[in-house]
Amino acid sequence: MTNRTRGIERDHDSSDGIPRVEYLVMLMLTIILWCSMPALSSAGNVDTLYHKSYGDPADPAVIFVHGGPGYNSVGFELGAAKELARTGYFVIVFDQRGCGRSRGYRPRGGWTFDDLHEDIDTVAARYGLKTFHLLGHSWGGTLAAFYALAHPDRCRSLCIASSPLSYQRTFRALLDRADTTERFREQVRQIRTLDTAGLIYASRCFALAMQTGAYTPRVKSSEADTIMTAVRQDSAAKLMRDMTPGPTIGIYMAERYTMLNMGETWRRLIALMPVGFIAGMDDGLFDPVHIEAIRDVLGKDRTIIIEGASHNVFIDKRAAFIESYRRLSSNGQ
């Protein structure tokens, strides 16, 4: 399947592809990381892919697709899955291959979008689902969108949470934000000298986002404090800060996801199913221009920005997130 058929659009593309030095570094790291992973059973064995469900199987199913690449579903699972299920959904979470509690899952194949779509299919088959809603967070919104475009007959709706329309626009927003603070200006200057198509550039932008508090609401709500107090009691909570480098490198090398522009994909999807977007107003990944571009694609009524929330909008303002999700997915039930 060609990139055009799959709806893959990039902001710009160089004739040389991945910078040669960076390619060699990424290749070496991928080989080391891949060889160090334990060999488990073959593709299609769901018992080696972490998954868990919440709610009544008779209710409309929602599959949550986590971010990263290389992160996991712990934050959503412990912070929002059960509460969303209580509103009338059968909520399913899973950790993508090589991530979190699926760190050792080593199916045949690699890190292309088609490979990762197999994980969604595997989970859906485990629960006997013919159709379901997709809820993708951050990078997971990108992965879920491409899945929905490839399988519109299976997807009842798509909700994109805190996921960029344009990754390059997000990187520029993060750098512009950091550049307003004196102590980050030299770091910003250095990052701006890097190849914007490279993974090193993207990684340093995301690291800077952590340093500048781009993922944190300006004022934390008592609701979020209560949720996080409960979340920390679970032994899996430690994985909320866990990022597995193998998937990050593998997906970059296979798909160059840091260059993606999702505009064409989203436009094609809105003709096929209900599509909505939710993000926190304090999420540093989005500047006002980015949000306006999202509204232009999806429409103002399908773009919900929640005040007092940042990147983990389903924890920062859980009640508002669930209410928004129910509204956006209702036409797909």
Phi, psi of 79 (to 5 degrees): -95, -25
How far is residue 217 CA from its own chain's centroid? 19
Give the C-alpha separation, 180 to 182, whole Å.
7
Instruction: Give me 119's structure tokens.
Output: 């994980």
Predicted structure pTM score:
0.88
- Between 304 and 10, the more confident residue is 304
CA atoms within 13 A on the CB side of 306: 26
Query: What is the structure's pLDDT at 282?
Result: 98
Q: Which domains does the chain have, with CATH numbers?
A: 25-332 (3.40.50.1820)
The terminus-to-terminus CA distance of the chain in angstroms comes to 30
Q: Which three-class secondary structure state does DSSP give residue 31?
A: helix
Q: Select, from the ranges 105-119, 130-144, 214-228, the one with the highest average predicted confidence (pLDDT).
A: 130-144
Answer yes or no: are the C-beta atoms of 191 and 208 closer than 8 Å: yes
Query: Residues 6 or more apart from 286 whose CB is under 8 A from it?
Result: 164, 170, 173, 279, 294
Tokens 């790291």, residue located: 29
pLDDT digits (tens, 9 = 90+) for 281-326: 999 999 999 999 999 999 999 999 999 999 999 999 999 999 999 9
Specify the amino acid at residue 251: I
Out of 108-112, 159-163, 171-175, 324-328, pick the least confident.
108-112
pLDDT digits (tens, 9 = 90+) for 250-259: 999 999 999 9
